[in-house]
Structure 1
């Protein structure tokens, strides 16, 4: 009987010790800690990656808009924003015609559908380019006049305005990203150190994109001043 009791007691103690040695709860907690650490990094990365993509698009938008500002030399890109009323639909001109640069002071627009000649001519004439397109029934030719001093100043102002709009867009992205990072810290999804790292990275990204915009605008202004 005593031998059986001793065996039973030994079995209970061994089972209890084994249960504590495996410690399933502590293992789960360890996995949760590792998972949370990865989540912190992934969350910050997702926020900053998204912000970087949006900032990049703002920079590209500045480039595109500046390309449509004409200098005293012909460039097909100045027609990029021209849209033509094509059967009631505002259609980009570059989807309706081939645009070429036969000389430094002239553009040639060759419509795919010749019945749209007058509509295309009207759209170009009514744009803010300050040009007078000539329609010979087959090709629309646009002579690019030299910029007057007043016109040059207006173009410079447009460049600065486009640049400022781009920088505002980039800073708005920074604000949104920083607000989200702060909310993650407040919700205890990330720690204070992770939050600060995220905020610092967001500011560095912003400074980089703002500098890019300043350089792009300066390059365009240089082009205008040379003509």
Structure 2
């Protein structure tokens, strides 16, 4: 029973790390990265649809990204979604068949704004990890069939797991921060 609670907590914390790393990929470091746009939702026939499902992405050079929609009727909506994305700060050009995006050079101020965004995403991941810990501790307390010593031991193990997970998130944050501030 304790092992089930611990395995569940470990899995959820690992997922939190992956989500944080994926979120970090959505913040630009001045290079064109398809991950910046793939998770944008596009209004497609009245339904918000991830851009990944509507288009293919090519990267002809480091700062240019070409988005080719599978359905040409979605071109305007894809362009609108990119323009309305607050954290991207790019202006797409539409030639009737595809959308071309040239990533602008980042100013020092914009880099610092991106660092703030990434730190906020890291804090959200840390909160998610702490919520998993709180839920796991509550689940451990509900176990009546096991001794208090075993629950206490599992609680200490859970604290160690939480610290390791938060440290992993912090390491990923430091790497992204360095990437963003590098000129």
What TM-score does the superposition give when structure 1 sets the normalisation length? 0.78
Distance 1:200 1:110 in 2: 51
Q: Deviations over 1:171-227 (max 9, x none)?
A: 11111111221232xx3x111221111111111110110011001111110110113
1:135 aligns with 2:94: yes
**Local SS of the residue matching 1:145:** coil
Distance 2:128 2:78 in 1: 33
Q: Which residue of 1 aligns with 2:146?
A: 190
1:163 aligns with 2:119: no
Structure 2 residue corresponding to 1:177, chosen from 133, 136, 140: 136
How many residues get paired?
182
Superposition map of 1:55-204 within 5 A = 55-128=13-86, 129-184=88-143, 187=144, 189-204=145-160
Distance 1:67 1:77 in 2: 6
**Local SS of the residue matching 1:72:** coil
Q: List alignment gaps of at least 5 residues for structure 2.
A: none
Q: Which residue of 2 aligns with 1:21?
A: none
In terms of Rg, which structure is larger? 1
**Runs of 4+ in structure 1 over 4 Å off:** none
CA positional deviation for 1:150: 1.4
Contact kept in structure 1, 2:112 and 2:181, CA below 8 Å: no
**Local SS of the residue matching 1:100:** strand
Q: Aligned Cα RMSD in Å?
A: 1.0
Q: List alignment gaps of at least 5 residues for structure 1.
A: 1-42
Higher helix share: 1
CA positional deviation for 1:72: 0.8
Superposition map of 1:30-49 within 5 A = 43-49=1-7
Distance 2:113 2:169 in 1: 19
Distance 1:179 1:196 in 2: 12
CA positional deviation for 1:81: 2.4
